[in-house]
Amino acid sequence: MSESSSIETLAAILRAEIARLAPGDRLPSSRDLIVRHGVGPVTVARAIALLAAEGVVVTRPGSGTYVAPRRPRPTADAPDMSWQAVALAGRDSDTGGSDGTSETLPDGVIAMAGGYLHESLQPTRALGAALARAARRPDAWHRAPTAGLAPLRAIFARLAGGAVGPEDVLVTGGAQGALSTLFRAIAPPGGPVLVESPTYPGALAAARAAGLRPVPVPVDDDGIRPDLLADAFAMTGARLMYCQPTVHNPTGAMLSPGRRRQIVDVARAAGAFLIEDDFARHLGHGAPLPRALVADDRDGTVVNLTSLTKPASPSLRIGAVIARGPVMRRLQAMRLVDDFFIARPLQEAAVELLSTPAWDRHLRTLGGALRERCATLADALAHEVPDWTLTRLPAGGLHLWLQLPSGSADSAVAAAARAHGVAVDAGARYYPAEPQGSYLRVGFAAAADLSELTAAASRLGAVAREAGRHR
């Protein structure tokens, strides 16, 4: 019997047993299930993970597995929504690409998926003070300019550097929505968009929702390869490329100095735009990060995208697009169709936050904390999972990119990790086409503290040992 069928068989048996139990009843231990059903520990772990995903059971690491509260049965007069399946037919519903986990994890599960800071790393006090000062401004609730408040645009321009001016800045409601707007504004429906492989899943989802076709361009230790990028432009006729040259997500790679000008030149020669996702601009681990590509671009080839959400708080939905020429006028016109302007109180709060010494102190503290967390997790993983290969120690960002041993299925390992109380991201979702190996993205910023990171590494070690016994 195959492993997958064994998992389904055991899950079916457990569903029948759970139907006879009451919510809150404890299931037999994993050891008891192994002996009773004659299966391996990985089979038990994955069957439990499957039931947990279905909402049938709740796992509490260190305590056991319990019957979840019953879901109410549909009543006879429940509304029939089945007609919507026909009405929505033909519309892409790829919404699984977000990089920030929206689910509430069960108690005891350590968060190492998603892309936001733990509350202890967020500048909560400075945010509260900035919002309070903004609210006291007499014009705090006036309509904001379409392009954004002039002081905020000036701040974003200064942060970008080079010849970027306030007139080149459009304030946005974070980065994800702005990315979706950029894809719709620049590329025609059905057209190709070149992306790094692997890349940020939220970009893949936004591109597909805009009716675009992501085309992968491989990366190596120095980032995206300019030779293959030129080939991809020539073969597809693409007029748009999306990339993350500074602390690539998920690999953590940094586009080498020699390639930074090359890829801009390649895009310019193809008559194409280059979207520079600068999400990690404030997430360096101490050493200065390379300045944005847009700072040295005078032809309007580069469109830069940045945000305050990652380094501050998920709810500070303020970002900026930097662009020059007709594309900026098109983006401003789309703003009038989409949402008119970004809420002024939030923009005012962002101005207050970025204009005080507290912001610089926060960034210095954050950089040190991320560096310590990154090193702690890397050391713990080297001890607990020596067969998992850390591709690099990144100079910034929130994640590590780990290659699994040959023959490992990243989705199965991620499910087993969840069953052991650790939420990680399977690598396959970061590829626009076929994965080039089996990987996990493991975050170090969402956990509560260093002890949680070492505990998570220990739990992943148990996952690796169980998987090794069954390979």
Of 84-98, 315-329, 350-364, the poorest mean pLDDT is in 84-98
* 158-165 mean pLDDT: 92
- Reported as a single tens digit per residue, the pLDDT across 36-55 is 998 888 888 888 888 888 88
Strand extents, DSSP E, 146-291: 169-172, 192-197, 213-220, 223-224, 240-243, 273-277
What residues pair up with 64 in beta bridges, in sequence order? 60
* Residue 467 DSSP one-character state: H
Identify the residue whose tokens are 């109380």.
421
* Residue 26 DSSP one-character state: B
DSSP-assigned letters across all residues of 277-298: E-TTTT-B-SSPPPPPGGGG--
* Residue 16 DSSP one-character state: H
Tell me the two tokens of residue 308: 């305050």
**To the nearest whole number, what is the mean pLDDT of the chain?**
90
Separation of alpha carbons 189 and 51, rounded Å: 40
Instruction: Specify the long-range contacts of residues 344-347, CB closer than 8 Å, at least 24 apart.
Output: 344/139, 344/140, 344/141, 344/142, 344/143, 344/144, 344/149, 345/131, 345/134, 345/135, 345/140, 345/141, 346/316, 346/317, 346/318, 347/144, 347/148, 347/149, 347/152, 347/171, 347/318
Separation of alpha carbons 257 and 77, rounded Å: 65
Domains of the chain: 3-67 (1.10.10.10), 84-121+360-469 (3.90.1150.10), 124-356 (3.40.640.10)
Separation of alpha carbons 101 and 447, rounded Å: 13
- Reported as a single tens digit per residue, the pLDDT across 274-314 is 999 999 999 999 989 999 999 999 899 999 999 999 999 99
Residue 2 reports pLDDT greater than 80: no
Q: Note the pTM of the prediction, 2 decimals.
A: 0.80
Helix (H, G, I), strand (E, B) or coil at 59: strand
* 107-135 mean pLDDT: 93
Q: Which residue would you say has higher pLDDT here, 80 or 389?
A: 389
376, 377, 380, 386 alpha-carbon torsion, rounded to 10°: -140
Are 171 and 152 contacting, i.e. CB atoms less than 8 angstroms apart?
yes
Are 343 and 144 contacting, i.e. CB atoms less than 8 angstroms apart?
yes
Tell me the two tokens of residue 367: 């950089």
Separation of alpha carbons 446 and 374, rounded Å: 12
Amino acid making up residue 232: A
CA nearest to 172, candidates 194, 149, 148: 148
What pLDDT does residue 426 have?
94
Are 15 and 47 contacting, i.e. CB atoms less than 8 angstroms apart?
no
* Residue 193 DSSP one-character state: E
Strand extents, DSSP E, 222-296: 223-224, 240-243, 273-277
Are 285 and 376 contacting, i.e. CB atoms less than 8 angstroms apart?
no
Tell me the two tokens of residue 448: 């509560």
Helix (H, G, I), strand (E, B) or coil at 422: strand
Q: At what angle do helices 150-160 and 344-354 cross, to 10 degrees?
A: 50
Other Cβ atoms less than 10 A from the Cβ of 3: the count is: 15
Phi, psi dihedral angles at 469 (to 5 degrees): -70, -15
Identify the residue whose tokens are 């029939």.
80
Residue 436 reports pLDDT greater than 90: no
